[in-house]
């Protein structure tokens, strides 16, 4: 009897640690993988922010990202779609 409780406790512990992935439609998966592929292919990207606050006055921010190892878009897209498919995240239909 004691073994049954230990076994069921182990099963519950293992199932609680099992990773679950968010599912998405094929169109959403394609859009997400296209965005990842475009970002991975960029060599230089950046952003700027400008704001004004009545308490502190004007503010300015800038970010720059330099990718020293850009990847081909097609390769990144295929890898992304393959990973989503192998994880069962793409809903068919």
Q: In the structure encoding, which two tokens stand for residue 63, read together? A: 């970010």
Do 60 and 48 meet the contact criterion of CB atoms below 8 Å apart? yes
Mean pLDDT by 10 residues, the chain (93 residues): 56 60 90 92 86 90 85 93 92 73
Residue 37 is assigned to a structural domain of this protein? yes
How does DSSP assign 41-58, residue by residue? H-SEEEEEEEEEETTTEE
Residue 77 pLDDT: 96
Number of structural domains the chain divides into:
1
Residue 9 is assigned to a structural domain of this protein? no
Enclosing domain of residue 68: 24-91
Residue 18 is assigned to a structural domain of this protein? no
Residue 61 is assigned to a structural domain of this protein? yes
């Amino acid at each position: 009897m004691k073994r049954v409780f230990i076994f069921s406790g182990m099963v519950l512990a293992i199932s609680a640690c099992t990773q679950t992935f968010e599912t998405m439609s094929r169109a959403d998966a394609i859009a997400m993988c296209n965005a990842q592929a475009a970002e991975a292919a960029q060599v230089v990207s950046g952003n700027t922010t400008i704001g004004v606050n009545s308490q502190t006055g004007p503010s300015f921010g800038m970010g720059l990202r330099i990718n020293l190892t850009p990847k081909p878009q097609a390769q990144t897209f295929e890898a992304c779609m393959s990973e989503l498919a192998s994880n069962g995240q793409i809903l068919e239909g």
